[in-house]
């Protein structure tokens, strides 16, 4: 995936399930720095300080960081399955902490790998995975008589209409992927017969 696009989670996620009387709790956080990942990790450890294990993994784009910990579980049975749940989805900028309350029955190596991987996956899905694409942001202002044609032209295309403001004219806030700027400007000019006012508002990552 290019530097102009990446996958992450939109929200925090939570999930829990029980396997042979052991309770597994997954907490997922979107993070942009390792410092923020550590902050949330410490908060979870404090909240579940009475748990048997607080296993974690996080991936951060900044400095290409990947970290994980088995937190006392047999090596390779906990932190790595959690990290794999992140990596196999191609996700980044996120932390997953899987808390275990031991229920008295040993799960074995395979059972632990399955349980931690499943718990992480459930939490990730509840955190709403998204693709974020770097876009140019434009405002397009036109008379009401042309607004329908402009909206029709932009809807269903690769552009994202983020907002429409109705005042004395109609102003569309439009997200345009990198590389599509010339095509976008040409389309707006053609559909409005050159009467629409187009203004660049900068660039940022947008959920698609």
Residues 72 and 44 grouped into a single domain: yes
Which residue range(s) make up the domain with 83? 5-127
pLDDT tens readout for residues 91-130: 999 999 999 999 988 999 999 999 999 999 999 999 999 9
Domains held by the chain: number:
2
Q: Which of 33, 24, 16, 32 lies closest to 51 in space, CA to CA?
A: 24
Residues 63 and 137 grouped into a single domain: no
If one counts every other C-beta atom within 10 angstroms of the C-beta of residue 23, the result is 16
- Show the CA angle centred on residue 72, arms to residues 66 and 73, nearest 5°: 85
Residues 93 and 148 grouped into a single domain: no
Residues 185 and 123 grouped into a single domain: no
Exposure of 125 by Cβ count < 10 A (0-12 exposed, 13-18 middle, 19+ buried)?
middle
Whichever domain contains 41, its CATH number is: 3.30.230.30
- How many whole angstroms separate alpha carbon 30 and alpha carbon 8? 7
Question: How many Cα neighbours within 13 Å face the side chain of 179?
Answer: 6
Which stretches within the chain are classed as H helix?
34-47, 79-87, 108-126, 144-154, 181-192
Residues 63 and 115 grouped into a single domain: yes
**Is 93 within 8 Å of 60 (Cβ atoms)?**
yes
Which stretches within 1-159 are classed as H helix?
34-47, 79-87, 108-126, 144-154
pLDDT tens readout for residues 51-84: 999 999 999 999 999 999 999 999 999 999 999 9
Residues 80 and 172 grouped into a single domain: no
| Mean of per-residue pLDDT scores for the chain | 95
Residues 108 and 167 grouped into a single domain: no
Residue 204: predicted pLDDT = 93
- How many whole angstroms separate alpha carbon 137 and alpha carbon 206? 10
- How many whole angstroms separate alpha carbon 48 and alpha carbon 40? 12
DSSP state of 143: -
Token code pair at residue 121: 């996956």
Residue at which a domain ends, from 127, 151, 181: 127
Token code pair at residue 125: 């899905």
Whichever domain contains 150, its CATH number is: 3.30.70.240
pLDDT tens readout for residues 12-57: 999 999 999 999 999 999 999 999 999 999 999 999 999 999 999 9
Distant-in-sequence, close-in-space partners of 189: CB < 8 Å, separation ≥ 6: 196
**Is 99 within 8 Å of 134 (Cβ atoms)?**
no
**Is 116 within 8 Å of 77 (Cβ atoms)?**
yes
């Amino acid at each position: 995936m290019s530097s102009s696009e990446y996958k992450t989670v939109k929200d925090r996620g939570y999930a829990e399930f029980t396997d042979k009387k052991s309770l597994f709790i997954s907490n997922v956080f979107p993070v942009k720095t390792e410092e923020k990942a550590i902050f949330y990790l410490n908060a979870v450890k404090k909240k579940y300080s009475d748990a048997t294990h607080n296993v974690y993994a996080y991936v951060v784009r900044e400095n290409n960081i990947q970290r994980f910990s088995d937190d006392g579980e047999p090596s390779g049975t906990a932190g790595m399955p959690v990290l794999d749940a992140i990596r196999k989805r191609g996700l980044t900028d996120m932390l997953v902490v899987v808390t275990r309350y031991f229920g008295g029955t040993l799960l074995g190596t395979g059972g632990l790998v399955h349980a931690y991987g499943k718990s992480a996956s459930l939490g990730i899905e509840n955190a709403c995975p998204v693709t974020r694409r770097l876009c140019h942001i434009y405002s397009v202002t036109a008379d009401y008589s042309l607004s329908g044609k402009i909206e029709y032209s932009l809807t269903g295309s690769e552009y994202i209409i983020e907002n429409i403001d109705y005042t004395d004219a109609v102003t569309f806030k439009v997200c345009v992927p990198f590389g599509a700027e010339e095509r976008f400007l040409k389309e707006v000019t053609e559909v409005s017969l050159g009467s629409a006012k187009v203004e660049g508002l900068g660039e940022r990552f947008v959920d698609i």
